[in-house]
Chains A and B, each alone.
Chain A
Amino acid sequence: MSLNVESTPLTAVLAPPPLRLIDDTGHAVAESEGGGFTMPAVDTLLDLYRQMFLARRFDVQVTALTRQGRLATYPSALGQEACEIAAVAALSPQDWLFPTYRDSIALLTRGVEPKDILASFRGDWHSGYDYPKHRIAPQATPLATQALHAVGLATASKLKRDDTVALTLLGDGATSEGDAHEAFNFAAVWQAPVVFVVQNNQFAISVPLDKQMACRTIADKAIGYGMPGYYVDGNDVAAMYAVISAAMDRARSGGGPTLIEGLTYRIEAHTNSDDPTRYRKTADVDLWRSRDPIERLETYLVAQGALSDEMRASIAAAAEKLAATTRDCMTEQAVIDPLELFEHVYATPRTALAEQRAFLAAELDVDAAASAGESEGSTR
């Protein structure tokens, strides 16, 4: 059933041009188009460029490892680097990030080691980094559920009179979930210091945005909740950084939540098990490849005389080193004791779990004895 096949979606007709500071061709826009936001300092832009470059290399490397069958799955964020890196760059050390499964490069940018990011994708454990240390929640798989956690944490920060702000990443599809609505509403009613960054990559696996909603933009929804909303060019890292930073400052100073929509595009498939040729045109993908966020900033920085060949070479070298580290962490597989399965379910020990643990331990002993016997036999 396609309810909206006869009418042209409002999204296409009425969506205003997104707020941007650097246009598709790498030129600064006229001040009137910047929505009152100013261009970040050159040093900040250089740092954003470096982080995006590294993130791209990591993403490409992990996708390659997945295609080689060495990882169970990897949802790529290729093409979405501006949203991801701007969001992390706008965080202060005390802030908390609530990411989804697609936001591995955000984890990388916040300092999580590649081996810890890949722990879940290679199947070691469902999640594998030090959350309190990095102040990053586990990557959420059920859509929009983490947005409520972000609102709760932000509210706790407010109750304790701390200056911690929570930022959560969401996708366009996730905004159809009830939890997204509840998160937006709770945040606005409680004036929670939280920033919602919706990466509108235009597809929820295969379903385009005009089958998710009938309004112009996701950012428009903010007005219904009583908070500011911004519709931003999600491939313009300068604009994303400026808008998110302003929202973080506002949240930190007691101004409440903000909803930011970054219009971007998922260049890769949803995951390696997806076939995007079934639902979108190669020409569309090519169009969005031409709007690449990294190339755009590079053009701008080169024109400004801020990015030398030496700097580019140095960043490229760092990226290759990161790719090597990422490959290397696949060779040193973590050994996980199966008995750990019982360790973290409850803080309070349970007799029934102790019994089941003993059962598995006995099975493991039998297996170990059997393989010891085999290897003894083979040496004879």
Chain B
Amino acid sequence: MTRQQTHATDIVVRAPESLTIAAALNAAIRDAMVDDPTVVLFGEDVGPLGGVFRVTDGLYAEFGETRVSDSPLAEAGIVGTAIGMAMYGLRPVVEMQFDAFSYPAFQQIVSHVAKMRNRTRGKIPLPIVIRIPYAGDIGGVEHHSDSSEAYWTATPGLTVVSPSNPADAYSMLREAIASDDPVIFMEPKSRYWSKAALTLPVQTEPLNRAVVLRDGTDVTLIAYGPTVKTALSTADRATVEGLSIEVVDLRSLSPFDDETVGASVRKTGRAAIVHEAAQFGGYGAEVAARLTERNFFYLAAPILRITGFDIPYPSPKLEEYFLPTPDRILTALATWEWS
């Protein structure tokens, strides 16, 4: 590490710190609350405890009860009251403690959060951020490891994003809070403690762009949230085997960045999508379909989906068999005819 070398420059420029995704999210909420007095934060255990994943650590102490509060334990209530607050000029940031605990709020999200702006012909925008820690690989008990993204991406009116690294976590959450559209902000909980050197605040980027994290020439591997790390590891392994994999981190699931992803697929001629959620009707189906529709004549092989099986999320002792791994991805890529 270069910590010692950079120490001398601390006085003039903030040195990059090694930050986790959780810490970057915390900083994003904090900075947004400092910049905009209409931002309020509430949910289950987000107050003095700082959230079960500590993403809201210290915010209650800094901003007090009027800006940061523990709510009753009821997700429809949390989202439903956030709607009313947004109607009165606040920008609520709320937490659904775990993916599967967002389901009681399904009606409020799908019937109102997603539709209010359209219903009122733009007269009532709902600038709400709904944070959902999601996906598995944490040894969680049942209902703590779901990948629920397809429910949200299938709903017009919602913006759905998922960061994979600390810099994006900060940038994307700042953009989500600043957005006049409601955003489902999906946090890959197995990656909360992934670190990267980062100087905050980072320059934010528009929420709707995918990014090529690694250049390659043979295959485009598309991932988001927790599977980005898996995809990067796969690319490392493939290099050894002489296969050049380009890794695209979608970041935004809805909208989908056709431009960036399409350009990569047209370049490599082969694409595979990796996610934890079950395959049937999963988000990867949409990715494969639209990439095929728009880029069919550039493709040398069918687009593959390497995903969780079409079963409920397994128990901790069995989840390793469910999650996509570099091995499983490379095996899938090997099923293509390579000429």
Contact = CB atoms under 8 A, between A and B. Distances in A.
Given A142-B107, A152-B84, A346-B117, A186 B77 contact: yes
A351 B210 CA distance: 14
B80 A151 contact: yes
Interface size class of B (residues with CB under 8 A): 35 or more
B123 interface: yes
B80 A178 contact: no
Given A132-B123, A189-B72, A344 B118 contact: yes
Given A152-B87, A183-B77, A347 B66 contact: no
Interface of A: 96, 125-128, 130-132, 137-138, 142, 145, 147-157, 159-160, 164, 166, 178-179, 182-183, 185-186, 189, 340, 343-348, 350-352
21 contacts: A137-B124, A150-B84, A153-B84, A153-B88, A155-B85, A156-B88, A156-B90, A159-B85, A160-B88, A179-B76, A179-B80, A185-B74, A186-B71, A186-B72, A189-B72, A340-B121, A343-B122, A344-B121, A344-B122, A347-B181, A352-B256
Interface of B: 40, 66, 71-72, 74, 76-77, 79-90, 92, 104, 107-108, 111-112, 115-125, 156-157, 159, 179-181, 207-208, 255-256, 258-259
Q: What 3 A-B pairs come out closest when comparing CB atoms?
A: A152-B84, A148-B80, A152-B81
Binding site of A, secondary structure by majority: helix, strand, loop or mixed? helix
Contacts of A178: 76, 104
Given A142-B107, A148-B83, A345 B74 contact: no
Contacts of B115: 126
Contact of B81 (A126, A142, A186, A351): A186
A202 to B, nearest CB: 26
A189 to B, nearest CB: 6
Contacts of A148: 76-77, 79-81, 83-84, 108
Contacts of B74: 182, 185-186
Contacts of A179: 76-77, 80, 107-108
Tell me which of A131, A156, A352 has the highest count of chain B C-beta atoms within 10 A of its own C-beta.
A156
Nearest to A348: B181
A140 B89 CA distance: 20
Given A149-B87, A156-B85, A185 B208 contact: no
B117 A344 contact: yes
